[in-house]
Structure 1
């Protein structure tokens, strides 16, 4: 180089800039399956010399890769990342991204695309990726220039985690990903900070609460954020207010505050929590989303007021028209509310006595009947045995089926985002991918995944992934040979079932074929010891436990209604 010549700059590819952008945002993992259109991204991740580079975790299906990423998002509140190749690699993301967007789980999805001059032509794996995923995500873009990749990722990351959190998608044409970049990457994106509600609004809420006979908190999905949960618990320390959780609000009420817990609501309006919401003259919804449990169910035939406290403006419908809408930082506003409430405020002694009685009834519901090996093991017996094996820090992921109603109603959890449900889309196959995410983010103890014999096979190929990563997952499968959540509702409606039967699988052999441990419970008397063995063995890798279930009481899930909510 001659004196006076401009300094030489080392060029980098779009893939390298994208990897640096992920490093800057603190991404720890990228889940997915490679292909020709994104091979430079996977090559760069696999052979990066930067110890901060995300670890590539190859999965056995793109849908499951995205579900693992959404599990990362749900558990941490920060976006998980999934990367796939073009064509079917992208289209296989659809269900998972719809689920993440509906249920508030931040995800950034990266999808390969054919070179730009092939887009719109009938060439190999050319599909309108951006358009396909636009309805499944909060934002869906296609990058047109390699220099824009870092900006695109930073904005997708920010959009994914902003209220309401959800999925974003970036389409990566092959020539863009392989193109040269001469711009610097975007640095770490700061969290968007919402403010506290103003003093007049706080005063209005205090006035409503102090004049209400029975104020009730309905804790929804955004109540399970760690800062919001802390604020709710702080508020309960100032004033004992009954709390009803949605399925995604599970664990908001801690063990030491359990006297304020009145169950979870969702699906069927027949729980003690439903009764409490109906009788309340002031329901305060905290981080509530209608996809969890529609207001036309829980808010029907009520005469009391509703206050919405959320970081998201509520969807107003004929069934949900809050008298007061507080659109602000939830945790800060709850803290201000606790400070503003009169120190001597309390519910009347009469109401407190009624709540104590309701709490006793709630506890009594979880008693399991006498074992009957001829018909399988009762759901409550399985739940009690599992409850005895876990602690407050154990993460339990739950798939979709009859068992998830039993688990939502009767399994106790005392930490937020440690009992995970899909109650927005009710997507089959979520539990095991979410368990993989939990095992990666929360090492040190077994993770529990609960599924039925219908939903388990939707994502069970990831057993190989879990074995490869030596993850301590206990997968419990409730077996009965039916898509039973559909079956029992069909019987309730029509007196018979239709199109819900499938054949048996030997899950012990199935698990062993992947290199996992397989166990089966044949008698109720062996349930506790088998689960204990599973939790011990999981230290050496995944364990699958097959449990034949007695679902004869399932009709009670829909028909055992409290008298004052019969319809």
Structure 2
């Protein structure tokens, strides 16, 4: 029997934890792992998927983590292979996406030398990941991966990094590998705390749920639904809480909050005398934006302790399993609890105003491009509740977050912690791998798309059904319209022309261009019916962008 190497032990540990894919870019310091993945007889071996850039490999792994709740795995070589994954790992850790990153390192006796591709990998990644470890003994590889896996999924989820010297991957392992890990269970709250929560809810005139990033698991979403069927109150989603409100509970949906404080969600939060913050993370939308000059209490229900600031000092902090806590609260609410007819009518009037903001301006011309709301309406009419839509950063993501409806959690994906450009296509690749029976939509601007567009080739190679919308206006427009609002002019935001139809075709994908609003829906339908990746190039008119930062809440000037 041949000896078991460090790489073999690492792969067997991945198999034991149910890892399906490893994404990465090859290199000499990690080639033993790639060799063993590519030429392994075990049918449960993770599939090795080579990408065009390490950054995209890590974004895809993070997309796997966000969609499934289980860590995606990325593997790179040493030196720049490590530094190229810093941005996606920072993004994953900030936004709660579990990832295990593995990078090769120079041999152990070269680590302290100024040798080829030698950098302080563990130290560099310690700022980007929840946990950063350099493995010095091949017999520690299996347990190091198992701990990285567990650390990545433990709330708050994020990235865990393993630096592995080349000779550690090659050396013999004599210890057995770690068995499949068991789920870590959290407890619920005791009856005294549940009673206190119920008393506060009963006493409130307008309790509102603020559904944050950690409300988007299936268990917590179901618990929120159970609560709303018992007590129908408004729910405001953060961008990462998108989809928490199901279609049958749409009457409870009062928009999403993030960025500028001028949404119906902001007005409802300000009016509320009791905010129930469920899985809320301040990186999504700082309390200084939505809790300013409020008069009312806050209950913080989360699996992690909140960050206390001058702007966020909850009156009751519940640090426990969110779903168990909410279900206990629902079970203890009175059967006849209700907001009352007057409040229901007030909320219905507010919702009518909210819905009117979704309307496409009647006098809009396509002369300078298609209106964002027209694109959103056409896309909304094309998708179903199971369609995954990934959204890049830019002006388009503000429009999408405010106006695009989603009815299942983790089916409308935003980067709202780091606001990282280039995430949409890699996340779409992850979604297409995990949800192959549904078409996947990626939405990006002409600037953000080219941060990761080279991995369109990866999508073509894998025969993934991805419809990539590119909203093209020739600028880094999210910066541009804010510069104009602040300074009266733009600076450093102009981009050159790209023919994205030819770009698509050069990769073996299908390219289409839409010039008129009336062509949007038939072209989208055609794109959805086309096998493989499709780029739909859409000139967009952002002249209404100034409305994105206009004032709605009276006490705030954006």
Q: Does 1:80 align with 2:72?
A: yes
Q: Which residue of 2 aligns with 1:550?
A: 541
Across the aligned residues of Structure 1 and Structure 2, the Cα RMSD in angstroms comes to 0.9
Deviations 1:466-525 (A, max 9, x none): 000000000000000000000000011111110000101000000000000000001122
Q: Does 1:243 align with 2:235?
A: yes
What is the aligned counterpart of 1:489 among 477, 482, 488?
A: 482
Query: How far 1:565 moved relative to its partner?
Result: 5.2
Q: Which residue of 2 aligns with 1:407?
A: 400
Q: Which residue of 1 aligns with 2:164?
A: 172
Q: For the residues of structure 1 that align with 2:537 and 2:438, how far apart are their CA atoms?
A: 21
- Say which SS state the counterpart of residue 498 (structure 2) adopts: coil
What is the aligned counterpart of 2:132 among 135, 140, 152?
A: 140
State whether residues 275 and 564 of structure 1, in contact with CA within 8 Å, keep that contact through their aligned partners in structure 2.
no
Q: Which residue of 2 aligns with 1:300?
A: 292
- Say which SS state the counterpart of residue 346 (structure 1) adopts: coil
- Say which SS state the counterpart of residue 474 (structure 1) adopts: strand
Query: How far 1:11 moved relative to its partner?
Result: 2.5
Query: How far 1:245 moved relative to its partner?
Result: 0.0
What is the aligned counterpart of 1:153 among 129, 142, 145?
A: 145
What is the aligned counterpart of 1:368 among 360, 375, 385?
A: 360
- Say which SS state the counterpart of residue 367 (structure 2) adopts: helix
Q: For the residues of structure 2 that align with 1:101 and 1:369, how far apart are their CA atoms?
A: 39
Alignment of 1:137-286 (within 5 A): 137-286=129-278
Query: How far 1:165 moved relative to its partner?
Result: 0.0
Q: Could you tell me the TM-score, scaled by structure 1's length?
A: 0.97
State whether residues 551 and 557 of structure 2, in contact with CA within 8 Å, keep that contact through their aligned partners in structure 1.
no
Q: Which residue of 2 aligns with 1:98?
A: 90
State whether residues 534 and 543 of structure 1, in contact with CA within 8 Å, keep that contact through their aligned partners in structure 2.
yes
Q: Which residue of 1 aligns with 2:444?
A: 451
Q: Could you tell me the TM-score, scaled by structure 2's length?
A: 0.99
State whether residues 130 and 141 of structure 1, in contact with CA within 8 Å, keep that contact through their aligned partners in structure 2.
yes
Q: Which residue of 2 aligns with 1:521?
A: 514
- Say which SS state the counterpart of residue 435 (structure 1) adopts: helix
Q: Does 1:347 align with 2:339?
A: yes
Q: For the residues of structure 2 that align with 1:134 and 1:239, how far apart are their CA atoms?
A: 44
Unpaired runs of at least 5, structure 2:
none
State whether residues 261 and 553 of structure 2, in contact with CA within 8 Å, keep that contact through their aligned partners in structure 1.
no
Q: Which residue of 2 aligns with 1:561?
A: 552
State whether residues 213 and 348 of structure 1, in contact with CA within 8 Å, keep that contact through their aligned partners in structure 2.
no
State whether residues 368 and 381 of structure 1, in contact with CA within 8 Å, keep that contact through their aligned partners in structure 2.
yes
Deviations 1:34-76 (A, max 9, x none): 1111111111111111111100000000000000000000000
Q: For the residues of structure 2 that align with 1:41 and 1:535, how far apart are their CA atoms?
A: 37
State whether residues 452 and 478 of structure 1, in contact with CA within 8 Å, keep that contact through their aligned partners in structure 2.
yes
Deviations 1:214-243 (A, max 9, x none): 000000000001110011011111110110
State whether residues 475 and 543 of structure 1, in contact with CA within 8 Å, keep that contact through their aligned partners in structure 2.
yes
What is the aligned counterpart of 1:460 among 453, 458, 463?
A: 453
- Say which SS state the counterpart of residue 303 (structure 1) adopts: coil
Q: Does 1:530 align with 2:523?
A: yes
Q: For the residues of structure 2 that align with 1:321 and 1:563, how far apart are their CA atoms?
A: 23
Q: Which residue of 2 aligns with 1:431?
A: 424
- Say which SS state the counterpart of residue 241 (structure 2) adopts: coil
Q: For the residues of structure 2 that align with 1:325 and 1:560, how far apart are their CA atoms?
A: 32
Query: How far 1:408 moved relative to its partner?
Result: 0.1
Query: How far 1:348 moved relative to its partner?
Result: 2.0
State whether residues 453 and 481 of structure 1, in contact with CA within 8 Å, keep that contact through their aligned partners in structure 2.
yes
What is the aligned counterpart of 1:61 among 49, 53, 56?
A: 53
Query: How far 1:10 moved relative to its partner?
Result: 5.2
Q: For the residues of structure 2 that align with 1:328 and 1:24, how far apart are their CA atoms?
A: 29
Q: For the residues of structure 1 that align with 2:407 and 2:557, how far apart are their CA atoms?
A: 30
- Say which SS state the counterpart of residue 12 (structure 1) adopts: coil
Deviations 1:324-359 (A, max 9, x none): 000000001111010011111111221111111111
State whether residues 284 and 307 of structure 1, in contact with CA within 8 Å, keep that contact through their aligned partners in structure 2.
yes
- Say which SS state the counterpart of residue 248 (structure 1) adopts: helix
State whether residues 219 and 252 of structure 1, in contact with CA within 8 Å, keep that contact through their aligned partners in structure 2.
yes
Query: How far 1:375 moved relative to its partner?
Result: 1.3
Q: For the residues of structure 2 that align with 1:562 and 1:379, how far apart are their CA atoms?
A: 23
Unpaired runs of at least 5, structure 1:
1-8
Query: How far 1:107 moved relative to its partner?
Result: 0.1
- Say which SS state the counterpart of residue 519 (structure 1) adopts: strand
What is the aligned counterpart of 2:304 among 285, 289, 312?
A: 312
Q: For the residues of structure 2 that align with 1:106 and 1:559, how far apart are their CA atoms?
A: 36
Q: For the residues of structure 1 that align with 2:387 and 2:554, how far apart are their CA atoms?
A: 36
